Structure 1
Amino acid sequence: MDFPEDFNQLELLDSHGHLIPRGSSSLWTGSKDEEEELEEGEHSEEWYLQQEEALKDKPKELLLWAAENNRLSIVLRLVTADPLLVHCCDEDGYTPLHRAAYGGHVQVVSALLAGGAKANPRTIDGWTPLHSACRWSRVAVASCLLRHGAQLNAQTNGGLTPLHLAASYTNSSKTDSAHTLELLLSQRHLQPGLRSSSGETAGELARRSGPHHFLFEMVEDCVNVV
């Protein structure tokens, strides 16, 4: 997919981030407030069982749904029955690993990786699971993915690295936002100078819009010493 020189994917995330495609069966269709409500577990067990029943004859869709909704037992059952299911994806290229990553479901992520899921599948927009984890400050998931070979400096079609996405998360009330940046900035092979399609580094982005720009000083100090 080609992008014009002045394309700014981060501005698009700021204005339409809640509309990032997650497949036809996704529950995530609204605002950040709705996202937080879903994370708090507003659905009853009966509701989950109904959803599972509705998808029981569609193992691919069921696995994608289960990964997104942290239904570990279903994930394990499906992957055990058909190991190739770990490689399935929705119409936007999101795999079960992507869905578990942006949901912050560490046990599901671990189960999928143990079941043979690749650490660096790409969506149609070039997002890896690490991009998804870092965009929503899922620090435990990001750490798990990095231990399993996730590409630290992978760039989306718009040139965004996981570090760009972590730096663009401006909700200072979530401590995991800072922790995610600290995790990425502490990685030995990080390339903090990579620029997005709009010509911006993650550090420049953080100074412009993020509450944790001071964390980039550790990288800048190391560069100055070298």
Structure 2
Amino acid sequence: MEFPEDFNQLELLNTHGHLIPRGVSSLWTGSKDEEEEVEEDEEDHSEEWYLGKEEALKDKPKELMLWAAENNRLSTVHGLLTTDPSLVHCCDEDGYTPLHRAAYGGHVEVVSALLSSGSEVNPRTVDGWTPLHSACRWSHVTVASFLLQHGAELNAQTNGGLTPLHLAASYTSCSIKTSAQTLELLLSQRHLKSGLRSSSGETASDVARRSGPHHFLFEMVEDCVNVVAVS
């Protein structure tokens, strides 16, 4: 499907964000029947359930790697990389790598393992998303900080011109605290270009102003005027 140049990706995220895969009920590797299952929290599944999933994917190492990264199966990730180190670079049909998957899920130990095994820190999906975009989309501040410390591109823009700051400003996280912390992290970065505009012409500040309670944080990057008293 083709979209016009002024297509607003953030509006689509707000209206169809529930379709973006995350957690153990991700739609990324499941069948059509699985897509119809009700989303469940990670703690609802036993270790036997996870082992069953891994057994089902044991002959599909690429799919298993992507699934394991998304579901925080650190030992499985280590085992796969020991057997075939090239799996760190695998991706699905949309270009999402294990690092994207781990960043979406907020799994910092898996992120660390993948980077230590040679994963690129800034791989791009077909839509131009980096793992930092993925972390900021769900306000995973610990992962976002870790990625920045390892060279993540702070001002990377998607095909629609969205930066990680745009996504953090959209306030789609269920946690007010982590949403604010993610914005503070990005806004405190020395080389941030906060004025970058998306293809729809919005800055991250514009997004924050209409999307949530944290627009005041953008005062951190506003130009200041120093007034010196003249005697």
Shift of 1:183: 0.4
Show the counterpart of 1:6.
Answer: 6
Matched-pair contact (CA < 8 Å) for 2:104–2:131: yes
Shift of 1:172: 6.3
Question: Which of the residues 107, 112, 115 maps onto 1:113?
Answer: 115
Bigger drift between 185-194 and 207-216 goes to: 207-216
Change (3 A) 1:68 1:171: closer
| TM-score normalised by L of structure 2 | 0.88
Question: Which of the residues 121, 124, 130 maps onto 1:122?
Answer: 124
Show the counterpart of 1:43.
Answer: 45
Distance between the aligned counterparts of 1:151 and 1:71, measured in 2? Answer: 26
Counterpart secondary structure, 1:17: helix
Structure 1: gaps (5+ residues): none
Shift of 1:38: 2.0
Shift of 1:17: 1.1
- Aligned 1:37-116 pairs, distance under 5 A: 37-39=40-42, 41-116=43-118
Q: How many residues align?
A: 219
Deviations 1:143-181 (A, max 9, x none): 011011110000001100000000002446431110000
Change (3 A) 1:172 1:96: closer
Show the counterpart of 2:229.
Answer: none
Shift of 1:25: 3.7
1:126 maps to a residue whose letter is G
| TM-score normalised by L of structure 1 | 0.90
Question: Which of the residues 154, 159, 162 maps onto 1:160?
Answer: 162
Show the counterpart of 2:207.
Answer: 205
Distance between the aligned counterparts of 2:151 and 2:2, measured in 1? Answer: 27
Change (3 A) 1:93 1:45: same
Change (3 A) 1:93 1:170: closer
Matched-pair contact (CA < 8 Å) for 1:25–1:61: no
Query: Cα RMSD (Å) of the superposition?
Result: 2.2
Counterpart secondary structure, 1:198: coil
Show the counterpart of 1:24.
Answer: 29
Runs of 4+ in 1 over 3 A off after TM superposition: 28-31, 170-174
Distance between the aligned counterparts of 2:41 and 2:16, measured in 1? Answer: 19
Bigger drift between 140-149 and 3-12 goes to: 3-12
Counterpart secondary structure, 2:217: helix
Distance between the aligned counterparts of 2:85 and 2:127, measured in 1? Answer: 26
Shift of 1:135: 0.3
Which is richer in helix?
1
Change (3 A) 1:137 1:173: closer
- Aligned 1:180-219 pairs, distance under 5 A: 180-219=182-221
